Amino acid sequence: MLPLNTILCPVDFSESSNKAFQNAIEMATHFQATIVLAHVVPSVPPIPADPAYVFEGPEYERLQQAEAEKHLAIVAKAIPPRLKARTIIGSGDAAEEIVRLATTEVADLIVIATHGLTGWRHLVFGSVAEKVIRMSDRPVLVIPVHKPEEK
């Protein structure tokens, strides 16, 4: 695993992923590694209950990609200039795409946050971080993030 040359950090622009991103920056600085900031756009949007709704997949994905590019550019500004960094946008199932990106980017480490879901929410929604851990052939550093009331 050591030395670390490339660190993949998936972000969803939440406070949780920002904490993982800060940890990834710290590690990249320490190891003088490249940080790859990634965001995954789901390929299918949530469908409203409106029977008149017309799903336009390519348009949805194009808009989501454009929005993700804007957000990634803002987040990437927090990367110190002395670090090598790049951004990448994937599409599809978040966990599968993160694992695929880690392989194509030849990442030595994936740094990802949990969202601290518990109970029925965890049962229903699962955890992208858990899926990445199970599917990845690379080391995964999970940054646990808990809401203040859950401590």
pLDDT tens-place string over residues 130-141: 899 999 999 999
User: Is there a contact between 16 and 113 (Cβ–Cβ < 8 Å)?
Assistant: yes
- The region that residue 100 occupies, defined by phi over 0 for left and psi between -120 and 50 for alpha, beta otherwise, is alpha
What SS3 state is found at 113? strand
Q: What is the DSSP string of 24-93?
A: HHHHHHHHT-EEEEEEEE-SSPPPPS-TT----HHHHHHHHHHHHHHHHHHHHTTS-TTS-EEEEEEES-
Nearest to 88 by CA among 11, 148, 17, 3: 11
Give the residue extent of every domain in the chain.
6-46+54-150
pLDDT tens-place string over residues 73-95: 999 999 999 999 999 999 889 99
103, HSE (Cβ side, Cα atoms, 13 Å) = 9
What's the confidence (pLDDT) of residue 151?
47
Domain range 6-46+54-150, CATH class = alpha beta
pLDDT tens-place string over residues 97-109: 999 999 999 999 9
Residue 79 or residue 53, greater confidence = 79
| Torsion angle (degrees, nearest 10) of CA 97, 15, 64, 107 | -30
Residue 6 or residue 51, greater confidence = 6
Amino acid identity for residue 3 in this structure? P
What's the confidence (pLDDT) of residue 44?
65
What's the confidence (pLDDT) of residue 50?
65
Residue 59 or residue 55, greater confidence = 59
pLDDT tens-place string over residues 16-28: 889 999 999 999 9
pLDDT band at 115 (very low <50, low <70, confident <90, very high): confident
